[in-house]
Amino acid sequence: MNILVLGGGGREHALAWAIMQNPKCDRLIVAPGNAGIDQIAECAVLNAEDGSLVVQFCEENAVDFVVIGPEAPLAAGVADALVAAGIACFGPSAAAARLEASKAFTKEICDAVDAPTAAWARFDEPGAARDYIREKGAPIVVKADGLAAGKGVIVAMDEATALAAIDDMFGGEFGAAGAEVVIEDFMRGEEASFFVLVDGETCLPIGTAQDHKRVGEGDTGPNTGGMGAYSPAPVLTQALQDQAMEQIIRPTVAEMARRGMPYQGVLYAGLMIDRGQVRLVEYNVRFGDPECQVLMMRLGAQALDLMLACAEGRLDECRVNWADDHAMTVVMAANGYPGRYEKGSEVRGLDALPANSREMVFHAGTRLDHGRVVANGGRVLNVTARGATLQQARERAYAMVDAIDWPEGFCRRDIGWRAL
């Protein structure tokens, strides 16, 4: 079959890498792709957020199945356009994607099914929001309701920070995403990510992971899109996963179906674990980045069969065949990230590195320039390895990092510290 993947980051390189290993895949196109994806698939130029253009591209290229990587095309209704045109796709409708595209919507769903989460309130003007913060006190969490490229959540440890976040959001810093604001109680505990495939009805857990959001070692410094991840996350024990399935995931999926907006795709639950209890922090309606890279490393070719089963409503026939191992990915980012950074520096030494089912360098922000791989974003490479233990995966990943010649980039040297 001919498959199109939408997106061009490390997540999509990992998806493409897993899909290519499956003999069902005859032709793989990734739009826009990047320099790493270009080595294993065809890259195409396409406005991935315009459903009618994506449908037209699929018809012209006889695409049978589309995997939608990022949240923006999902929120824009690209899955709806594909389904209406009779093209199978992996990823939820725009209505169901509100589980990520509206924080208030997710909280309403949690309330409707009594799923454990932080107490919350929504505001569409700053005065009442400020009063609520003063009444509640800090620490407190302020969230722009809409999609804000991962920057719309402020965990305020003092009242002044929370009030400043209200000014920024209602002042237009996040555009329309900040027109409404959700304020939540601060939750203590350890955060981990839980990934569940859903076909509208059946839910199939496919793994756990933990990422490192802060730029600096010891989880210090500003937030980033993620500086590294590993899977499984030992903190999310089987008992806690069962609890999350019973109290949060299955009730959510049932409520979405009841409301006439069945959820299809991967449901990525950010969970807070505290004293043997899980609570929902947030949902995302796509794979995490870089969490996808470690999940794909562990799932391999079966990822395509599972995603097809989601699209075709036959997840009840599937099970996940896990290699009983661990995977870790280390993000190499351009110096200065997440602040100002330069693009265009050459990354050397990649050709000499292994590229197999245990060791892979997934490209995040790269492009080809006269045959050279050059940095083209903040997060540039995801150096990923599997091992019988997390320690072994880590040693393999850092051995590859050390073989990469890129003075203009950096990484954290402590990925996995919590689990190790």
Q: What's the closest the beta carbon of residue 78 comes to ligand GLY, in angstroms?
A: 19
Q: What's the closest the beta carbon of residue 284 comes to ligand GLY, in angstroms?
A: 5
Q: What's the closest the beta carbon of residue 187 comes to ligand GLY, in angstroms?
A: 17
Number of alpha carbons in the 13 Å side-chain half-sphere of residue 113: 25
Stretch that binds ligand GLY, among 13-21, 253-261, 287-295, 324-332 (CB under 6 A): 287-295
* Closer by beta carbon to ligand GLY, 207 or else 226: 226
* Closer by beta carbon to ligand GLY, 88 or else 285: 285
Among 12, 145, 180, 289, binds ligand GLY (CB under 6 A): 289
Which residues, 6 or more positions from 183, have their beta carbon under 8 angstroms from its beta carbon? 120, 121, 122, 123, 129, 132, 133, 136, 140, 141, 142, 143, 162
Binding of ligand GLY by 284 (CB under 6 A): yes
Q: What's the closest the beta carbon of residue 268 comes to ligand GLY, in angstroms?
A: 7
Q: State the SS3 of the chain.
A: CEEEEEECCHHHHHHHHHHHCCCCCCEEEEEECCCCHHHCCEECCCCCCCHHHHHHHHHHCCCCEEEECCHHHHHCCHHHHHHHCCCEEECCCCCCCHHHHCHHHHHHHHHHHCCCECCEEEECCHHHHHHHHHHHCCCEEEEECCCCCCCCEEEECCHHHHHHHHHHHHCCCCHHHHCCEEEEECCCCEEEEEEEEEECCCEEEEEEEEECCEEECCCEEEECCCCEEEECCCCCCHHHHHHHHHHHHHHHHHHHHHCCCCCEEEEEEEEEEECCEEEEEEEECCCCCCHHHHHHHHHCCHHHHHHHHHHCCCHHHCCCCCCCCEEEEEEEEECCCCCCCCCCCECECCCCCCCCCCEEEEECCEEEECCEEEECCCEEEEEEEEECCHHHHHHHHHHHHHHCECCCEECCCCCCCCCC
Stretch that binds ligand GLY, among 62-70, 139-147, 250-258, 283-291 (CB under 6 A): 283-291
Type of residue at 16: A
Q: What's the closest the beta carbon of residue 112 comes to ligand GLY, in angstroms?
A: 24
How many residues of this chain bind ligand GLY (CB under 6 A)?
A: 8
Among 9, 288, 365, 377, binds ligand GLY (CB under 6 A): 288
- Residues 134-163 within binding reach of ligand GLY (CB under 6 A): 150
Binding of ligand GLY by 293 (CB under 6 A): no
Among 80, 100, 145, 291, binds ligand GLY (CB under 6 A): 291
Q: What's the closest the beta carbon of residue 263 comes to ligand GLY, in angstroms?
A: 18
Binding of ligand GLY by 102 (CB under 6 A): no
Stretch that binds ligand GLY, among 21-29, 282-290, 327-335, 371-379 (CB under 6 A): 282-290
Q: What's the closest the beta carbon of residue 380 comes to ligand GLY, in angstroms?
A: 16
* Closer by beta carbon to ligand GLY, 127 or else 222: 222
Among 46, 211, 215, 365, binds ligand GLY (CB under 6 A): 211
Stretch that binds ligand GLY, among 52-60, 175-183, 251-259, 284-292 (CB under 6 A): 284-292
* Closer by beta carbon to ligand GLY, 226 or else 409: 226
Q: What's the closest the beta carbon of residue 408 comes to ligand GLY, in angstroms?
A: 23
* Closer by beta carbon to ligand GLY, 363 or else 374: 363
Residues in contact with ligand GLY by the rule CB under 6 A: 150, 211, 225-226, 284, 288-289, 291
